[in-house]
């Protein structure tokens, strides 16, 4: 037991003094799929699955869906607004190399989850999806 105390002290000290895995000053840390976090006005969150990249810009409540693969599927953002319980989607059926933006008008400070998916546009059926990315969006107050 006496030997484990110095090791514990090193771990606790490292966490308290900056060795806890956070980026150093001037560095950035990319969001991970399925992660949670607070989003500032200008931060853009990205979620992806093979063939699809979805970005969310909280300052404008805009989702941009990029189709990055000629696989015969549409690119989709699947979105849940936890404040209202609503589920919406933003479809990009325009083919590989294209992007489509969908603007939402969320009430102030929404808690949303979104994932990137491929899908069949005609029947609006999702084929494959990434994990959910949940964020607390603290965008500026809307008038």
pLDDT tens digits for range 23-79? 344 333 333 444 444 444 446 888 889 999 999 998 889 999 999 999 999 999 999
DSSP 92-124: E-S-TT-EEEEE--PPSS-EEEEEEEEEETTTT
Q: Are 89 and 76 in contact (CB under 8 A)?
A: yes
> How many other C-beta atoms lie within 10 A of the C-beta of residue 75?
30
The predicted structure's pLDDT at residue 138: 62
pTM: 0.68
């Amino acid at each position: 037991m006496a030997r484990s105390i110095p090791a514990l002290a090193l771990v606790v000290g490292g966490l308290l003094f900056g060795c806890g895995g956070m980026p150093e000053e001037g560095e950035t840390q990319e969001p991970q799929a399925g992660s949670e976090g607070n989003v500032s006005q200008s931060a853009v969150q990205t979620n992806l699955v093979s063939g699809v990249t979805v970005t969310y810009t909280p300052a404008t409540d805009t989702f941009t869906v990029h189709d990055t693969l000629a696989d015969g599927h549409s690119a989709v953002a699947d979105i849940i607004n936890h404040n209202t319980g609503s589920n919406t989607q933003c479809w990009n059926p325009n083919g590989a190399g294209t992007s489509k933006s969908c603007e939402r008008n969320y009430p102030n400070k929404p808690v949303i989850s979104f994932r990137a998916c491929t899908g069949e546009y005609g029947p609006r059926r999702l084929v494959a999806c990434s994990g959910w990315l949940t964020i607390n969006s603290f965008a500026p107050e809307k008038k």
